[in-house]
Structure 1
Amino acid sequence: MLTDVVQLYRESNRPPLNGSTFAYEGPSSSALDAVLATCEQLGEQFGRFEENPERDAQGEVSFRWKLAANEHARFYDNVSQLADLTTSPSQGIFPKNFYLLDNNYMDGEASPPAILLRLRTLVELVQLLGRLTQSLSSTHLDAKTLIFVIPAEERSPPRTFELQTRISNVTLELPTPELAVLRLLVSDQANEALHIDERRSLFRLAIADVLQNAPAGNEAFTYLISEWPQVLAKYQYDVDCYISNFSFDKVRKQIAASELEFVSKIQSIMGDSAAKILGLPLSFAAVIGIYHASTLIESELLVLGSLVIAVIFSFVVANQVLQLKRIDHGFRVVFEPLKSKRGTFSLELGNILDEAIKGFSDQYQLSNRALTLVRALAWLPVFVGTSFVAYRYSAATQKFIQELALNLLT
């Protein structure tokens, strides 16, 4: 296994490689003897002895080991060579079963070198980008080919960019990209998040915008990594703009819906009032009847009828005024929070809010005045009829009252 081969190399004091072999000649030790015995039992996929171990009388041992050239136990000079000689990182697959000579590091050990961590991050980036966008069946077997599109605009057609995710030595020298935002976007937990499809589209668009200036071919991926902070900045800006526009639309729709609701309630009250106002002409007809009445009793009965109608109208109007006040209270409950945030709204949204408040206020005042007028008109026949009777039958009324008083006293 790779662990045994690496232990053999380390117990041999990490000699320089000669091609794909390393040799040792020197004193033996119990640890070296043990690992030699283990390596003699390994399959050839992990390497083999090109010169079997030989021991002399002085306790020294010599051997030559032939390294494997496969995925089971591969030695690399450094991380750059690891990325250069293997295709898996550029395909989004982190290599396994390797040993780095420069760093004396074996795959799976603790405290990996910083550049290896950077390679792992780049591999993860390839994976995440593959989940974010479409991947083509590429003739470049050493890398993925990802598609990013800038949508058509008024005067330009859509533009498509092919990104080959080739990780090179230059890529490894760049700062490690920050992937927290992208991880969140493509995670399974984000599938139910609000506006997740729009956010993913904005991230793809941010990448496509950066790729407009990228060199063609394998260097595009390196360019993308170098401009990764710009990708994140553009994405965040686009998200802020989108959320701002969405909030604008949401508040605008809320204002429109609330305005329509309260205006409809006022119209309902006034429509109900209009139906009742149709009975108001009866009171005015009573005035005509009082004028044509031939006796005092007949006139007084007509005045009494007008009084009853006026009282009923007063209660009806008072009830509708109370309903108007409740609607006004509900309007203020809904719109006061929006009014307090007016300073944070755009000029257009602020004007929409002001128009809604002013429009409701005007309609409320007009409706209130209309109901006040109806109440006054309901009492007008009573006052007119009473005045007419008093003027017409003043002498007769006085005589009638005197006779009634005398009858009561005698």
Structure 2
Amino acid sequence: MVDVSKFAEAYRLLGRPALVRANAFDFRASAFNPEINSAAEKLVTSNAGRFDEFLIDGVDVNPSDFNACSAWSTIEFSFVLDTSGTVPIFKNFDQLMARSKSFVRTEVPTSFYIIDENILSSEEPLDHRIKTLHALCRLIVYLADLAHFHDEKESSDEYKLVFVAEDLAKGERAITLYPYLDRKLLDFEISTELVDSLQMSNLEESPQLFKERSIFRATLIEYLAGQFGGKERFKFLISTWSQFLILYGNNLSTYLSGFSFHKAKQEVANAQLTVADQMSKVVSDISGKVLSIPISLAVVIAISKAESVLESSILVLGILITSALLAETLAAQKLQYERIKHSRMIMFTSHQQKAHQYPEDLRSYIKDSISALTANEKKLRSSLLVLRILAWAPAIVAATLHSCIFQKDLLEGFDKLAFFVRAILAVFTCC
């Protein structure tokens, strides 16, 4: 396994000799230095390449037999870097970019070394170009997860990502991106937090992930619709990434707001139906009972045909009891009405407080709902008041009629009752 950091350390100890060829450098020293021994040993163990020649005091030796304790007067060797593609050591960024075809399908190696720039990617502080390179490779991998289709052929010269519009109302559209790496792209700043959060692996943590991925694709198509050519689209996207994120944020906010407003409208509709249903139950509960009013009035006729004051008195008492029970029932319904009114106020208060945040149609809808329910409440309250008055009408009519018809008998009865009371009081007084 290649140890890039060990190669970088050895190369620096040797004073970073220039490459005589694209992948080889020569080194010569005529004075003993233990650091050179350490560097040569690290080159051997780094597995980054091979020694073409290794001379100690003019004698060709096996590099693997050389160690930090070896003594010498002169040393010279030629080291050739492995060019098989598995060694992440590059002469410059241009050579690194030449390997970009393999990097667009997977993330760039975590550790690599740029010889001319003396940049080791695992060392802090990171060069901004290294940060951008890692971000670009992650972004391409994330975009592949978001794309509807992507080219799986590793031998293909171009890596294709296809995004298809899902909103048929806007017409079926699709765009193709050809992700690639170029040295010029390393000058831009890329953040991958958003696309990272949209990966399918986050589905359990984000229930709205499918909709957010759909909004991302729609935004991507909207943003790149005016650009032509897969590579040109990709370059435009990278160079204006921050603007794309703003557009996505606006589209997502629009969707969430619309979803929130739709939910609020449903809540208002449900609240309106609930309150109306409860008021309807109040009316239903009293509709059967108020029939006792005309029945009681019909009984009043029987009072006029009563043959004795006792018979008439029993009829009047029955009507009084009926009126009292009906009045109590209506009083209970009035309390129920008050509870319904209070519940309505609680249901709509939160929406009224947030009404300034709602669109005009939703504000108008809430206002109309409250007005309609308030009108129903006023009508129900008036009906309950009138019915409570009417509930006593039969009793009042019956008592009046009874007293008019049997006035003489009632007066005699009252006199006898008064005499009886006085007699009892006299007895108690004497005692």
- Output the TM-score relative to the length of structure 1: 0.89
The aligned counterpart of 1:232 is 245
The Cα shift of 1:368 comes to: 2.0
Correspondence 1:350-389 to 2 at 5 A: 350-389=363-402
Determine if the alignment matches structure 1 residue 343 to structure 2 residue 347: no
Deviations 1:104-144 (A, max 9, x none): 13353443322111101111111221222234235663553
The Cα shift of 1:284 comes to: 0.9
The Cα shift of 1:285 comes to: 1.7
Cα separation, partners in 2 of 1:50 and 1:152, compared to 1, 3 Å: same
Cα separation, partners in 2 of 1:307 and 1:3, compared to 1, 3 Å: closer
Distance 1:7 1:315 in 2: 98
Distance 1:209 1:99 in 2: 39
The aligned counterpart of 2:14 is 12
Distance 2:86 2:421 in 1: 131
What residue identity is the alignment partner of 1:170?
K
- Higher mean displacement: 319-328 or 330-339: 330-339
Determine if the alignment matches structure 1 residue 163 to structure 2 residue 177: yes
The aligned counterpart of 1:50 is 52
Determine if the alignment matches structure 1 residue 306 to structure 2 residue 319: yes
The aligned counterpart of 2:36 is 32
The Cα shift of 1:151 comes to: 3.5
- Higher mean displacement: 275-284 or 316-325: 275-284
Determine if the alignment matches structure 1 residue 22 to structure 2 residue 35: no
Distance 2:5 2:190 in 1: 32
Determine if the alignment matches structure 1 residue 177 to structure 2 residue 180: no
The aligned counterpart of 1:88 is 102
Cα separation, partners in 2 of 1:358 and 1:69, compared to 1, 3 Å: same
RMSD value, Cα: 2.7
The Cα shift of 1:74 comes to: 4.9
Deviations 1:136-159 (A, max 9, x none): 2356635532121223554x6311
The Cα shift of 1:216 comes to: 0.7
Select the residue among 69, 72, 76 that pairs with 1:62. 76
Distance 2:84 2:91 in 1: 15
Select the residue among 221, 234, 240 that pairs with 1:208. 221
- Higher mean displacement: 242-251 or 7-16: 7-16
- Higher mean displacement: 278-287 or 312-321: 278-287
Indicate the SS of the match to 1:112.
Answer: coil
Cα separation, partners in 2 of 1:37 and 1:124, compared to 1, 3 Å: closer
- Higher mean displacement: 202-211 or 310-319: 202-211
Indicate conservation of the 8 Å contact 2:293/2:394, yes or no. no
Deviations 1:190-233 (A, max 9, x none): 53324221111111211122221233143332121012122111
Cα separation, partners in 2 of 1:403 and 1:109, compared to 1, 3 Å: closer
List alignment gaps of at least 5 residues for structure 2.
60-71, 424-431
Determine if the alignment matches structure 1 residue 268 to structure 2 residue 281: yes
Query: Percent identity between the aligned chains?
Result: 24
Determine if the alignment matches structure 1 residue 284 to structure 2 residue 297: yes
Determine if the alignment matches structure 1 residue 218 to structure 2 residue 231: yes
The aligned counterpart of 2:212 is 199
The Cα shift of 1:289 comes to: 0.5
- Higher mean displacement: 4-13 or 245-254: 4-13
Indicate conservation of the 8 Å contact 1:149/1:160, yes or no. yes
Distance 2:274 2:176 in 1: 52
What residue identity is the alignment partner of 2:266?
K
Indicate conservation of the 8 Å contact 1:94/1:123, yes or no. yes
What residue identity is the alignment partner of 2:55?
P
Determine if the alignment matches structure 1 residue 147 to structure 2 residue 162: yes
Distance 1:99 1:278 in 2: 97
- Higher mean displacement: 68-77 or 227-236: 68-77
How many residues are matched? 406
What residue identity is the alignment partner of 2:95?
Q
The Cα shift of 1:235 comes to: 0.8
Determine if the alignment matches structure 1 residue 131 to structure 2 residue 145: yes
Cα separation, partners in 2 of 1:49 and 1:225, compared to 1, 3 Å: same
The aligned counterpart of 1:257 is 270
Indicate conservation of the 8 Å contact 1:321/1:371, yes or no. yes
What residue identity is the alignment partner of 1:106?
L
- Higher mean displacement: 93-102 or 236-245: 93-102
What residue identity is the alignment partner of 2:26?
A
Deviations 1:314-363 (A, max 9, x none): 11111111111111112112222222222222211111111221222222
The Cα shift of 1:309 comes to: 0.8
The Cα shift of 1:54 comes to: 4.2
Distance 2:167 2:263 in 1: 27
Indicate the SS of the match to 1:250.
Answer: helix
- Output the TM-score relative to the length of structure 2: 0.85
Cα separation, partners in 2 of 1:108 and 1:267, compared to 1, 3 Å: same
The Cα shift of 1:87 comes to: 2.2
List alignment gaps of at least 5 residues for structure 1.
none
Indicate conservation of the 8 Å contact 2:113/2:120, yes or no. yes
